[in-house]
Each structure stands twice: as C-alpha cells, then as structure tokens.
Chain A
Amino acid sequence: MSEVLHDSPTDFMHEMAMSSMACVAQSVIPNDEGAYTVACSCQLWETTAATREDGLNLARRHTGSIQ
C-alpha cells in the first residue's frame, strides 16, 4: 500500500524538512516552457527535463539510485 497518501501534504512537506538539506525528496513539475523543472530538497540541485519520466530518472541519478 501507499504510505504517503495517508499523510497530508503538510505532513509530507514537514517530513522532508526534518531532514534539513538532505537529498530526501525531489519534485518534477511542469514549467511555463513546456518542460519540467526538477529540484531536490537539498536545495543545491535543480535542472530541467523534457518529460516527467526523464525528470524522475535525473532525480534517481542525483540520489545515486541509478547510474
């Protein structure tokens, strides 16, 4: 089952904040240029991607989950 969907979004964001500056969460959000902005909770990494899946893969590389 999903664990996150029974948190509220507020709880979700607060949990991210508890790990200050760590790479514990990434967002992939459409931007005005028709691409996606990809950012990490570490606040040191932000990039763009052509598709949402590309953005997620960039996030996975950022956290070392894939090579």
Chain B
Amino acid sequence: MEKIWANSGDSHFLEPDELWRDSLPPRLAELVPRAERDPDGQWETVHIDGMSFRRKLPTGTAKEFMEASNRAPGARDVPLRMKDLDQEGIWCEVVFPSLGMWSSSFRTPEVLREALRVSNDWAWETIEKGSNRLIATAQVSTLDIDDAVRELERVAEMGYRTVFLPVSPHPLQKDYHQPEWEPFWTAAERAGIVLAFHIGTDPLDLSKGASAGIVYRGPGGAVLNYTETTFGGQRAVVKMVASGALDRHPDLKILISEGGATWVPFIADRIEEGYRQHAMAVRPKLSRSPREIIYSQVYASFQHDQSAVAAATYMGYRNVMWGSDYPHMEGTYGHTQETLHGLFDGVDPAIRERVTVGAFSELFPGMPPLPTGVPA
C-alpha cells in the first residue's frame, strides 16, 4: 500500500509535569496548578491559584480512555515522537501545549504571565529546536491583553510562527469581538504570527464550581459534550469577522484546529445572510464580503471527517488542512494510513496535495519538503 505523507495542523505535546513549579519563584509556583493524591490513592486534588478541586481518579473504562489518550511513546519525547511520525506518515506538525489549557483557571495576572513565559521558553528549546518538522505554538495570557501583546512580540522575536489562543478569552476578560483586543490583532499581523485557536478550549470559570461551562448529563451526554466542544471555534471566527478584526487586518491568518472544515462554508453562508439581510443594523461595515474574508484568512483542520475533503473539492473553500491530533484519543495515532487512504483514495491529486501539504505550507512557509520520492 502506498504510504501517504501529510502535514498535521493539530498535534499536542505533554510538558514535564513540574515545569511551572520548578521554574517559577516560590511565591508564584505556589499558585500554578498542581495535583496531589490522597493517601488512599483513589482521589486526586488539583490546586489552582487559591482554589482546590478534588475528584475520584478514573477506574475501568475511564482509566483506559485516559491511558489511551497519552499512550503514544512520543507524547512527551521529541526523538521518540519523530519515530512515531515517520511510522504514521506525518511529516510536519503544529504542536499545541497541554498545561496551558488550564490558563483560564488562573486569577492572578502575574502568575499566568510568568507561567506562560516559562512554557514558551521551554517549548522553543525542546520542540522547535528538537526538530525542524515541528512548529511549536506559543502561549499568551488572555487575562491581561497588554501582557498578551508583550509576550506575542517577545516570542515573535524568538522566531515563533504561531500563537495558541483559546476559543474564548479568559472569563474575566472582554470577548474577542470587543475593541480592547485591537492592539493584539495589530501586533499579530505586524509580526506575521498565525493565531491558532484550538477547539475544546472554552475557558471554564472554575470558581463557579459544578455549574461552570456547558455540561450535559444523562442520555447522550458523552456525545453531546464532545460535539459541544466544536462550536467554540466557529464562534471565534464569527467574532473575528463580524467585529471587523480580520477585515482591518487582511494579512492576519487564523487556524481553527480539530474543529472540522465543512462548517466553514456553512458559517460563511450564515454570516453573508446576516450581513446582507440585517444591513440596517450591521456595524461595522466591512470592506470585503464575509465569505472573501473567511476563505482567504481562516484555515481549518480536521482528522476523520468524511465531508471535509468535499469542502475543498466542491465548496470553493481551499484552506482545508488535515491534522492528526497526535497523541490524543480523538486522533489518528495507530491508524493514520488507514485514515488517509480512506479520505484520499480516488480523490483528485491536486485536492489531496492541497489538504495534506499545500494549505499547511501556505500558512507556514519554509518547512522541509516531504521525503524525496515520496508522493503527497
């Protein structure tokens, strides 16, 4: 069977558990997330910035799920990771953090700012310098926009090409469609930084305890909760378009990772209709059509979606990008070739090249080419 090589617009790395605690001064280290087990081994307590959350450790099916999510040998080791990628047929990757997913749980701006700075320095040394096939995503505080601008400019100077953003900012901060974010969009465009939103990162205000976030219980709960994580990425795009942020910054590119791709033509339709039919109430006016803005500045990654390739083939949306989600449970680790053949066998070679390599290379130029003699 022919080996299909593909770049991934969505992968993850597990940082050392004690990265923040070992690198920050004690007064800040005390506030970053840390977990400890009860003596009975059955419960774990997570302490975050003055709050504590205790949970029963998973057993049975839940434990198997968690172990499977982090089962890949290269989840936390670059040399082992490259072996995994070669075996799976994954060439270059956008690599998201793991610890940083807890950023919305911080309450103290200084702690978040310094913790993310530590993460960025670590990821640069470990991931970016670890292989020229890996693109590390830097992290910025969405609790303090001035901090976000300063850190984005610092990491851009280091050489970072992309910054991870949660699909909504910190619960204590204004939302992305508000003018307070304008300096950040300006800084990202000026620095040529791609803003990489990852679905499932809706910030939870854990200070609200059990009522935090949208959580379904009862019949269908698992699928409802999983599907719900998709919508935040779509909302982020609507905010960036409707507020005029992408229109004012035509060189700013954004990536929505793991959320599928077929929703992009759909959401462009909805925004077009709203913009046209509610024209008397629409502010700000845009200099380009919403569809033109989205199709030229928004990229979207998927892993298994059967309809995603059709978005590129039949709907005129070319910024469709495949992603492995390595090493997560929802990803393709262990069956990447089967997935890629299922998606691309019989597909126009030009579309296959665009989705597996071309869109990625357009967003992140200068990455090493596929192994010689191996077709995309």
Contact = CB atoms under 8 A, between A and B. Distances in A.
A13 B216 CA distance: 10
Interface in B330-355: none
B218 interface: yes
Contacts of B62: 15, 18
A7 B221 CA distance: 18
Among A3, A60, A65, chain B packs the most CB atoms within 10 A around the CB of A3
A50 interface: no
7 contacts: A6-B69, A9-B206, A10-B202, A11-B200, A18-B221, A20-B217, A27-B51
B112 to A, nearest CB: 14
B53 interface: yes
Interface residues of A, number: 41
Contacts of A3: 35, 44, 57-58, 66
B66 A41 contact: no
A4 B35 contact: yes
Interface in A7-66: 7-21, 23-30, 37, 39-41, 43, 52, 55-56, 59-60, 63, 65
Nearest to A17: B215
A65 B221 contact: no
Contacts of B45: 56
A2 interface: yes
The interface centre, meaning the residue of A18, A27, A39, A43 with most chain B CB atoms within 10 A of its CB, is: A27
A2 B105 contact: no
Given A17-B225, A25-B53, A60-B38, A6 B70 contact: yes
Interface of A: 1-21, 23-30, 37, 39-41, 43, 52, 55-56, 59-60, 63, 65
Instruction: Identify the 7 closest CB pairs spanning chains A and B, nearest first.
Output: A2-B35, A27-B209, A8-B101, A25-B55, A28-B52, A20-B217, A17-B215
B172 interface: no
Contact of A13 (B69, B98, B213): B213
Contact of B218 (A20, A27, A39): A20
Interface in B195-212: 200-204, 206-207, 209-210, 212
B43 interface: yes
Nearest to A37: B209
Nearest to A20: B217
A24 B58 CA distance: 10
Interface of B: 14, 17, 33-35, 38, 40, 42-46, 50-58, 62, 66, 69-70, 98-99, 101-102, 104-105, 200-204, 206-207, 209-210, 212-213, 215-218, 221-222, 225-226, 229
A16 B201 contact: no
Main secondary structure of the interface of B (DSSP, over half): mixed
Nearest to B39: A65
Nearest to A6: B98
A8 B201 contact: yes
A43 B222 CA distance: 19
Contacts of A26: 53-55
A24 B40 CA distance: 15
A15 B55 CA distance: 10
B293 to A, nearest CB: 28
A18 B222 contact: yes
Nearest to B65: A15
B104 A9 contact: yes
Contacts of B50: 30, 52
B227 to A, nearest CB: 11
Contacts of A27: 51-54, 206, 209-210
Given A5-B46, A20-B218, A56 B52 contact: yes
Contacts of A65: 38, 40, 42-43
B171 to A, nearest CB: 11
Nearest to B34: A2
A62 to B, nearest CB: 10
B206 to A, nearest CB: 6
Nearest to A30: B50
